[in-house]
Amino acid sequence: MAIQRERSGRKTSPVGKEFTLDRRDAVPALIGKHEDFLIISGLAGTSRDIAALTRDGAHSYTMAGAMGGACMIGLGLALARPDKRVLVVTGDGELLMNLGALATIAVLNPPNLAILCVDNGHYGETGYQKSHTSLGVDLEEIAIGSGIRATRTLSAEEELAEGARMLRDGNGAAFVLLRVKPTDPPGFKRNMDPAACRNRFRATLLDSLQPDV
């Protein structure tokens, strides 16, 4: 027997929250001047977005594994560098692997950390299988329930300006869910050596290669 559940909130596919934006336009439009941020990106799609945008810049750390870690790397960096604005750019699949990170981040609520989740509802890297967000899971609702106070879902071009403001300003952690259609991210050849990327990130930020700074 099917169980009917009462819910006060959203329907599975709220009107105006469809996956129609193109990530190739929407991600650069939202981030704007990328040099203003230290950027952590999670896995294939968003790492390609960020590598193309920053031309594989040393102020970005683009992951290609350790799935589920992007938000927490961002938290550690934000706590270490309160003088810098930290932006985590990750996908729905990567975020779904460690939803608890949203709760951990909400509890600390660092003012210099923003999370941009590029939600295409699919696992693009493995052949575009549907993710949970195509099947009724709403990551903004999860962020709200985790205790993150500044949240927004963007699914139309006219909403991007408000989203861009949230990534840059605020007195607590921000979560912006960008709904995009399931199309390929830009191609860009980036450095895939995680140790080399660590060294260049630290060298640029800390002006030294010593682990002792």
Helix, strand, coil content of the chain in percent (nearest 5): 40, 20, 40
Q: What φ, ψ does residue 52 adopt, rounded to 5°?
A: -70, -40
Smallest gap, in angstroms, from Cβ of residue 29 to other proteins? 26
Residue 173 touches other proteins, criterion: CB under 8 A: no
Per CB under 8 A, the list member of 14, 25, 107, 156 interacting with other proteins is 107
Residue 103 touches other proteins, criterion: CB under 8 A: yes
What is the footprint of other proteins within residues 9-48 (CB under 8 A)?
Answer: 38, 40
Smallest gap, in angstroms, from Cβ of residue 24 to other proteins? 27
The total number of residues shown for the chain amounts to 213
- Measured between alpha carbons, how far is residue 23 from residues 119, 142, 146 in Å? 9, 22, 26
Q: Which two tokens stand for residue 125?
A: 């890297």
Please name every residue paired with 151 in a beta bridge, in sequence order, or none if there are none: 175
Residue 111 touches other proteins, criterion: CB under 8 A: no
Residue 115 touches other proteins, criterion: CB under 8 A: no
Stretch that binds other proteins, among 135-143, 162-170, 178-186, 197-205 (CB under 8 A): 197-205
Q: Which two tokens stand for residue 89?
A: 């750019």
- Residue 170: how many other CB atoms lie within 10 Å: 16
Per CB under 8 A, the list member of 65, 161, 162, 169 interacting with other proteins is 65
Nearer to other proteins, 80 or 156 (CB): 80
Count of alpha carbons within 13 Å of 169, Cβ hemisphere only? 5
Residues lying near other proteins in the complex (CB under 8 A) are found at 38, 40, 61, 63, 65-81, 84, 98, 100-101, 103-104, 107-108, 194-195, 197-198, 201-202, 205-206, 211-213
